Structure 1
Amino acid sequence: AAAAARGFEVDASLADALARLPVPRVVWLMVPAGEVVDQTLASLAPHLSEGDVVIDGGNSYYKDSMRRSAQLLQDDVTYLDCGTSGGVWGLQEGYSLMIGGDKATVERLGDIFRTLAPAADRGWSHVGPSGAGHYCKMIHNGIEYGMMQAYAEGFALMQRKTEFNIDLADVARTWQHGSVVRSWLLDLSVDALDKNPQLEGIAPYVPDSGEGRWTVAEAIDLDVSAPVITLSLLERLRSREGNSYSDRMLSALRNQFGGHQMKTD
């Protein structure tokens, strides 16, 4: 109903929507990673025909994308994996698009990517064969984990240095101009600190959506040292422990071997 109210044409089923499109059709998927993608493709498959293109713009695992591409290719349907970055600001700023799959198909559909990107000539590219788009997005999100963790730690240090009474939002605004650490994430930090300097009402619980885990696993598989990304993921896991059993065990061990004082509840 909301889509119809904004002028979009809405169909009752995927079959109805596909029947409306001119052949060869281009179908853009934007659904959560995992089983939902396979379920959606299974619903689409009977209605697809030779020459159709399916673009997965979600955060699918790159090996899943390679598998799906091979499956659809058996029916002469092309599958493109498009890593999409921009978050809720993408509608306003444009999306960064990392596209994997058949290069000729990407070039043929260039108008789609030029429309969604920040500008027609930048912010999107064909990054390699099937799986490469979602692989690059996975690494992108791993880097994002590390950057966010570094900002969080830096602001925590300044917040703890109470003798200086540092205005965190003011420092962040200063860093926005000319600083080596300026970035869009820093811009978002300014917005967050302006609205809620003490971050009151926010639980110290940081979820993860999976890409960081995949990045760390890939680093292990490739024998690539990635300590910053790995530790940033572990810090997210630690944020969810609450009453940490491991920390209580550490305290108990210190008391056992050295008689060190334990803080009790």
Structure 2
Amino acid sequence: MQLGMVGLGRMGGNMAQRLRDKGHEVVGFDFNPEGRDVESLADLVDRLDAPRVVWLMVPAGEATAATITSLAELLSTGDLIVEGGNSHYVDDRRRADDLKARGIGYVDAGVSGGVWGRQNGYGIMVGGTAEDIARVKPVLDSLTPDAGGGYVHAGGVGAGHFVKMVHNGIEYGMMQAFAEGYELMAASDIVDDVPGTFDSWREGTVVRSWLLDLLVRALEDDPDLEGIRGYAQDSGEGRWTVKAAVDHAVPAPVITAALFARFASRQDDSPAMKVVAALRNQFGGHAVSKSTDEPAHTPRS
């Protein structure tokens, strides 16, 4: 089928190439001139045959909102927008209502697979009406893995990004568990081969996973991770997952702790841990030298 793709970065560009490899016609636009097929959103709409399908892969937030607002003025009744970024599901519902008043359909698509998706296929979680999903099914079939799977019509508008949000929250927890396991083994005087241990877990164990494969790859490049700063950004989905858990009174301690651990990674000298160190020193005499970070025990009187 014919498809407009807005956003040709690491995800959108690879998705467009995978679709072209599968025989689809993709007309691509990006605000960066490099690699785009048309010069503007208006040109993109003009190049597509009605009824049009336009898939967005732009950063969540203001960039997505502005792009949808612009497209709403250019598209016609019967056209369809697929939002494939990481929008908040609440925004999806509001946008779908606004576009419906113009006769324009809306599908929210959570996409997972990273830079490996072009080769391996993507996991795609969509929300919308059955009719709108059917219109983009050829694209979904081509983007997902050749062996099958990797796709779910999760529900109405908003459901696709909701389950992608939960997916990313689970990802936070899994990554944090691997990270803590690494630190524990590296800190011990028992394990001589930490990278080899992770590599051995890739076959026959219950923790084998693609994330484990990626960790082993990273350790092959840098066994002690000396070239990596211990700073982890969060892209928003973890926060939304925790908020949704609060809204629905669902306990989510692992995901919540993993999110807070990322916040802690941004502190060179944690104020909270300064308080902990100060309190320990007050009641237990465990003073810590700022210069050496070595505990200096001071007996209590």
Give the TM-score band, short-chain normalised.
over 0.9
Q: Partner of 1:81: helix, strand, or coil?
A: strand
Mark the runs of 5 or more structure 1 residues left unpaired by the alignment. none
**Is 1:187 matched up with 2:213?**
yes
**Is 1:87 matched up with 2:114?**
yes
Aligned to 1:73: 100
Question: How far 1:243 moved relative to its partner?
Answer: 1.3
Whether contact under 8 Å (2:278, 2:287) holds in the other structure is no
Whether contact under 8 Å (2:106, 2:132) holds in the other structure is no
CA-based RMSD of the aligned residues comes to: 2.0
Cα distance, 1:264–1:190 mapped onto 2, change above 3 Å:
closer
> Quick one: distance in 2 between partners of 1:44 and 1:15?
8
**Is 1:32 matched up with 2:59?**
yes
TM-score of the superposed pair, with normalisation by structure 1: 0.93
Residue in structure 2 matching 1:255, options 272, 281, 295: 281
Question: How far 1:124 moved relative to its partner?
Answer: 1.2
> Quick one: distance in 2 between partners of 1:76 and 1:158?
58
**Is 1:13 matched up with 2:35?**
no
TM-score of the superposed pair, with normalisation by structure 2: 0.83
Aligned to 2:225: 199
Residue in structure 2 matching 1:236, options 262, 265, 269: 262
**Is 1:96 matched up with 2:123?**
yes
* Structure with higher strand content: 2
1:264 alignment partner AA: K
Question: How far 1:251 moved relative to its partner?
Answer: 2.1
Question: How far 1:120 moved relative to its partner?
Answer: 7.1
Question: How far 1:122 moved relative to its partner?
Answer: 1.9
Q: Partner of 1:109: helix, strand, or coil?
A: helix
> Quick one: distance in 2 between partners of 1:157 and 1:170?
15
Question: How far 1:260 moved relative to its partner?
Answer: 4.1
Question: How far 1:257 moved relative to its partner?
Answer: 4.2
Residue in structure 2 matching 1:171, options 176, 197, 200: 197
1:82 alignment partner AA: A
Mark the runs of 5 or more structure 2 residues left unpaired by the alignment. 1-8, 21-25, 28-36, 292-301
Whether contact under 8 Å (1:15, 1:47) holds in the other structure is yes
Question: How far 1:104 moved relative to its partner?
Answer: 1.6
Aligned to 1:62: 89
Cα distance, 1:200–1:106 mapped onto 2, change above 3 Å:
same
Question: How far 1:230 moved relative to its partner?
Answer: 0.2
Question: How far 1:236 moved relative to its partner?
Answer: 0.5
Aligned to 2:179: 152
Deviation per CA, 1:174-224: give whole Å up to 9, x if none. 111110000000010111111110001211111110100000111111111
Question: How far 1:242 moved relative to its partner?
Answer: 0.9
Whether contact under 8 Å (1:114, 1:120) holds in the other structure is no
Q: Partner of 2:225: helix, strand, or coil?
A: coil
